Each structure stands twice: as structure tokens, then as C-alpha cells.
Copies of this chain bind each other. A is one copy, B any other.
């Protein structure tokens, strides 16, 4: 509740056009994340950023522009963080998948991506542009890498062709559950990230059923 940055007797008159936008965006992310677009108060954002309400308007044209900047920044951060993981598709398929999934969880746990997701879920309907950009950038790019891994795995005989392998998103899919539960019920139920991750990998690698049980129709 008292999240106001509290810089402790701030030196009244700071001038630093350089860092302001970042500070505002950080404060904005927090606020939009917690209250959604309509619920967000420029008042609080300004206060968190340690500036006056009017000063916001020196950096962003209006609430919507600020929101767009926040969303952009969050997405950008996400992309950057993923970028260097996707470089080489080498080694065993098992390793590749494991590395990707682990990266995923590392990102998910970070505040940022939950924030993006929550914002997209809450305000998406109102900001088709935002949704579209996010979709184009994230979804498409991630999928291509996954597809490549799967195809290569099938070609190398490491992956069993079948319905699952047709859907590249199936690889990260279970993680979404963790993300949502963490986001919504975080206060009530702490899912152990490591345990969940192991379960996820185990599912991916081995499947659930024993060979015998599979054929028991």
C-alpha cells in the first residue's frame, strides 16, 4: 500500500530528463499492472515516480500514450531477454527443449512478463493495436524456434511424430498454468516453481502413461 518509492527527503529540484521517462514507465508498469488501465491513477504514477502530475505530460502526451510506452517497454524487455537464447539450434533435442523451457520459467517468474500478460488480458479488448503488436512479435517469433526444434527432432528420429508434435506451442503450454496460478492465487497457494518445472519437463520427455497403460482402451 505504501509503495511510494520513498526516496527519503528527495533533493527537491532534480533535473534529469534522461532518466525520467524510465522512472515514469517503471511506476506506470506497477500501477497499470495493479489497477488496469481505467483504474490506474496518474496521480499515483506521478507520486511513485517522484514528480508532479503535470510533469508526466512533459514526457507523455496522455494516459494512453503512457500506457503504450509502458506496454512497449515491457514487451521490448521480454523480447530482448529471449533473443540471445534462440541463437543456436544444436545438440540433442532433449537438451534444446530443456533449455528453452527453463528459460521460459526464468522469464515467467520475473515480474515483467506477468505484468504484460495481465495488461493484455485486462485491457486487450480495448487496445487491439497493442494486442496485435504483441502477437506479431512474441507469438510468431517464439513459435518459429519451437517448430524448428520439433521438425529437426522428428527428422533425427528423436521425436515421435503425432498430434502433440504438430502443435509447437504444446511445449511451453503447461507453463501458462503456472503463470496464471502464480499471478492470481500467488497469495493463497505458492506453487513450487522448481517442482512444477520438473513435472513439466518430465511430462514433455516421458509422457504420463506407461506403455502398457497406453494401449488399455
Contact = CB atoms under 8 A, between A and B. Distances in A.
A131 B181 CA distance: 11
A164 B213 contact: no
A156 to B, nearest CB: 8
Interface in A178-217: 178, 180-181, 183-185, 187-189, 191, 195-196, 198-210, 212-214, 216-217
Given A35-B38, A36-B122, A39-B36, A170 B203 contact: yes
Contacts of A39: 36-39, 126
A92 B170 contact: no
A43 interface: no
Q: How many copies does the complex hold?
A: 4
A178 B135 CA distance: 14
Nearest to A143: B189
Contact of A174 (B135, B177, B210): B177
Given A124-B184, A177-B176, A184-B124, A207 B206 contact: yes
A69 interface: no
A160 interface: yes
A85 interface: no
A118 B204 CA distance: 28
Nearest to A128: B187
Contacts of A86: none
Nearest to A172: B177
A2 B39 CA distance: 24
Given A158-B213, A176-B176, 8 more contacts: A94-B216, A131-B188, A158-B209, A164-B199, A170-B199, A172-B177, A174-B176, A205-B209
Across chains A and B, which 7 residue pairs bring their CB atoms closest together, nearest first? A207-B207, A158-B213, A173-B177, A38-B39, A167-B199, A163-B202, A173-B174
